[in-house]
Chain A
Amino acid sequence: MTAEEIIKLKENALKECQAAGTMNELEAVRVRYIGRNGYLPQVMKGLKDVDPSERSEYGRIANEFKNQVSAALDYKKTELAERGTAEAKSVFDYSLPGVWRSLGTKHPISSIIEETVRIFGKLGFTVAEGPDVETAYHNFEALNTPAHHPSLDQTDTFWFETGELLRTQTSPVQIRVMESRKPPIRIITPGRCYRRDTTDATHSANFHQIEGLYVEKNVSLADLKGTLAYFAKEMMGTGVDIRFRPHFFPFTEPSVECDFTCHVCGGKGCRVCKNSGWIEIAGAGMVDPRVFKKVGYDPEEITGYAFGMGIERIAMIKYSINDIRLLYENDARFLSQFI
């Protein structure tokens, strides 16, 4: 067989290959051209009869024949196979459940804490933490809480025989931070607190608070209002506004309670806000000069504000949880929804 004949043969093979409409036809093409009794063995056999000077050229053409035809056959085979699959009734079931581990879930209390830390982080607040087992000094005395204040009552506070106690608020962290450094202070203090409340739908002997403290020159109640207004919108939604009501806390003067617009009804009044349009969220105020004196700050030099909120309360309002106990029962059917 000459080189020209091989080239011709190749072209025919490629044409027939292209024309094949079924696997059987394609198989026939394969057998005829590159099968054991097809043209290919003859082509290869012809190599030894070729003049040595043309042998390498002949070899190249012969290889090309073999490779191109094989490739064309393979390609066509895939094509036919795919067409076949498409035409046949497929058994591929896309509707089977996906197989991958799903993500876990964050506890709603953690979500609120992390979100609060994030929001205040944008305002330059950093987190400070303190012990749960506190001294009476840090929990009460340093916070200008008179020795006979009701919260010092045996019935409200968990006391240890050592004279220490389980902190009733995260405010002692503020004292610890101020004792250890000079102004400016800009901290946020999430943490667990304890009060001897009997557990019911709205009370828990073990709960979380987050407090903020900002101490600088010339800080005013208006700064506090702006900060809490920003927090309210970030946490509850852009339509949420705040208002202040005067109140009393031993460690702030003036003291206020801060209400947020009810995010459910937008202030129109609903079941959630008991028709008032407002929900009480935070206690706040300007740090009492007597507290500054306790930590060695000069209240003539600096002023500051502090605020505190219950994490469970925010979580309950934000996620419409009607019973605080759900937050501590750790029922997977409840927690799995906080994805």
Chain B
Amino acid sequence: MKVPVSWLKEYVDFDASPEELAKKLTFSGTEVESIQTIGGDFKGVVVGEVRSIEKHPGADNLLVCKVNSGREEVSVVCGAHNFNVGDKAPLALVGAELPNGMKIEERKVRGVISMGMLCAEDELGLSDDHSGIMLVSRNIPAGTPFSEVAGPPETVLSVEITWNRPDCLSIIGMAREVAALFRTSIKLPSVDFMERGEPVEMLADVDLQDVEGCPRYTARVLTDIKLKPSPSWMQKRLTLCGVRPINNVVDITNYVLLECGQPLHAFDYELLTDHKIIVRRGHTGEKMTTLDGIERQGLEKSVLITDPARAVALAGVMGGAGSEINDNTRNVLLESAFFHPPDIRRTSSKLGLSTESSYRFERGVDIGGVEWASRRATALMVEHADAVAAQGVIDVYPNKRPEKKIKCRFQSVKNLLGVDVADEEIVNIIKSLEFSITGCKKDHCVVGVPTFRPDIEIEADLIEEVARIHGLDKVPTIVPQARVVVDADDSVTRATIACRSNLIGLGLMEIMNYSFLSEQLLNAISSADIDSRVVLPNPVSSDYAVMRNSLIPQMVDTLGRNLAHQVDSVSLFEIGKVFLKDNNNKISEENHLCIGLMGKSGRAGLNKCKPVEREEIFLWLKGVIEALAVSQHVGNLVFKPLNCSRMDADGAVSIEMNGHVCGVMGLVKQEIRKKWRMIEPVAVAEMNMVALIQWIFTPFELHSIPVYPSVSRDVAMVVDENVRHDDILKIIKKAAPQELTGIELFDIFRSEHIGACKKSMAYSLVYRSLERTLTDEDANRYHEIIKEALRKELKAEIREGK
């Protein structure tokens, strides 16, 4: 909201610079966002009289004007068209410097000399208006310095009003704050006027049918109005606050809105059927056209101001077309009312229509000040629109509430703030905010809450008032005392942090994707999951339309986008939630880990030219998972072949940890990779975090270091290509004595010499006894048994001679 300081000073005396005032306001809860100076000395700007207007010979949309500057006639090229010969406007002469920094020089515009500039309001820093040049009264003599027309410069504060303080959405409300900060009081303007007309009840009628939506409605009637421009001081204040002056009646309603925060509406009295106002809810299917010419639908449940024939205003939001002030208006019905904030909010957001009026009503105006605002506007109309005010006011206020009273205990204030505020200071602060003290005891006072402070409901609200006026800088900084909450458990967080560290230790880079993604991306990976998708009914855009049910789609996309950035080797992981929907539409969440490898990420050293093999990248990923499982204390990790729509048929496995299936890993199908132009294989894995974190704090058993030395024997065998490492392990383990303590595959070798579809696999076996030192003979004996088993079960040719 804009607060011109000169206007503020009309209601409250204070001695402070705008900067000091801004600081005080900011640190008492009304944040001043900017301090703006509007206007200035306007050196070199005078009132110019347009003497002639001709088209520019070289440009269709430019004009060449002769302008009387008071001293001489100058030729000026102008782009605006909103004026006629005889009009007067601010003329910046050669040498002038405008508030926006523009320097006026003699220059040629498309071949025509221009000796100055006719100014728009924005060029003079008076408003944002650039719709045309600013016109001033024709009565002002040409050559008058513009500073005399514009008046002294004005300081305007831009303040941010928090949602709970609708009272501050007005100059008087701000004045109350200032008065409290400077411990002074405010002066309200006069609302006295002569009621010369007929009794208002004879002229109009109000039928308040919806007391819930409209707890208070007042109406006055003003007759014999003369529409004309409002006084220049009023126009200036409106302009400073960003409101465009229109005519005296409309300007006065806007002025009072800005002054005290009460939105008013002026109807053309003659356009109200039977001169009757009915306040009711909209009927199903009811429509009306608002002032902006838009037909509004869906008004059922909205509070409407109607006459017996039609709706005449969308209560608290906008007036209706056909009953508004127009050039022929002579008599006015002035509405001042209080509408139920949630109703206004609902109507405003449903229609996507926010106005100065709805903005205030939805936050809550001063129900006690409704009639004052009506009087204030009437007084101004009597004075500035020659209006004849009818006698009295129609004021329908059926459920007037008694004043709200709250007990404020002095000790509670001190305890909650941790500041020792003196009892008298508490009372003084409360009083300075125009609260009434209706009783004051030794340890507490009883506070009466004025109607303009709907936000004050309980003692804590009063404590906040004391805190902000007393000053939060006076709250001491107490060194925190670490006290343990004994049974609090954050093992999940600690385990997750450990898991993240371990992944980073394994060389992976952490990524973070949004929790929602596009349907397109999901479908690019798989459509098999369509039933479990949680779709957002109101997404920001179609890119974020579905909650993720797997981390893999975004992982693949991330790899692909990095590849597009010429980053061809990365190893990534993400820890994040996925969202799943069951048959009953119940949404559940799981924490997942996703790992994605691309390029030569698993290769260290100089061995980087060779293309990455499918099996190679798969095994890198498997290695990461194995290492991670060990570091997370997962005892038993098993991979089993799996069919997965997103992965290669031979390159997909399920991951089992300690007997529970907890994830999948594999190679992304080529047809999916193709969409991101990924030529080389890409490996991804996704698993549930529960499996990875649940055993990390399980105590483990410590094994003693072996006492006796081990004996190692190698075995190399030629087997068919389709024999798996797993098959060999099984045979060895089955045949082995208990002294076999280690099996390591150390070479796979293929050559013509061995034969097609054959491979040589070499294992190193370690034998050790817990009771004695094994002899060579022992080891040879064990080894022979195993070799024999391999020969028999695999038809393996054991390669001797090593």
Contacts and interface: CB of A to CB of B under 8 A. Distances in A.
A162 B585 contact: yes
Contact of A133 (B342, B493, B506, B589): B589
Nearest to B352: A155
Contact of A226 (B478, B515, B570): B478
A111 to B, nearest CB: 9
B468 A246 contact: yes
A222 B29 contact: no
Contacts of B341: 148
A128 B122 CA distance: 54
A114 B485 CA distance: 20
A107 interface: yes
Given A107-B511, A328-B513, A330-B511, A126 B485 contact: yes
Contact of B472 (A146, A147, A149, A245): A245
Contacts of A197: 540
Interface residues of B, number: 87
A118 to B, nearest CB: 9
A235 to B, nearest CB: 14
Given A132-B589, A222-B477, A106 B418 contact: no
B513 A133 contact: no
Interface stretch (B36-44, B560-568, B776-784): B560-568
B604 A154 contact: no
Interface stretch (B497-505, B757-765, B792-800): B497-505
A123 B512 contact: no
B770 interface: no
B679 interface: no
Given A158-B536, A248-B164, A303-B416, A230 B479 contact: yes
Interface string B412-435: 000111110000000000000000
Interface in A131-177: 131-133, 146-150, 153-155, 158-162, 164, 166
Interface residues of A, number: 87
Nearest to B344: A148
A107 B417 contact: no
A29 B28 CA distance: 99
Interface stretch (A50-58, A80-88, A331-339): A331-339
Interface string A228-263: 011000000000001111111010011110000000
B480 interface: yes
A158 B534 CA distance: 12
Given A328-B512, A330-B558, A150 B464 contact: no
B587 interface: yes
B460 A253 contact: yes
A221 B493 CA distance: 29
A196 B493 contact: no
B458 interface: yes
Contact of A330 (B464, B512, B540): B512
Nearest to A158: B536
Interface string A77-118: 000000000000000000000011111111101100010010
A254 B513 CA distance: 36
A186 B485 contact: yes
Contacts of A205: 514, 516, 540, 544
Nearest to B26: A245
B507 A254 contact: no
B28 A246 contact: yes
A225 interface: yes
Interface string B575-600: 00101000001110100000000000
By Cβ-Cβ distance, the 7 closest A-B pairs, closest first, are: A222-B418, A220-B418, A246-B29, A254-B464, A248-B162, A148-B342, A126-B488
Interface of B: 26-29, 31, 162-165, 341-342, 345-346, 349, 362, 415-419, 458-461, 463-464, 467-468, 472-473, 475-480, 482-485, 488-490, 492-493, 497, 500, 503-516, 534, 536-541, 544, 558, 561-562, 565, 567, 570-573, 577, 579, 585-587, 589, 604-606
12 contacts: A105-B509, A133-B589, A196-B538, A199-B540, A226-B476, A244-B475, A248-B29, A253-B458, A253-B463, A254-B467, A286-B460, A333-B565
Given A206-B516, A248-B162, A333-B567, 17 more contacts: A101-B604, A105-B510, A124-B485, A128-B490, A160-B536, A184-B483, A192-B577, A218-B415, A221-B416, A227-B480, A245-B29, A247-B29, A248-B29, A253-B463, A290-B458, A330-B512, A330-B562
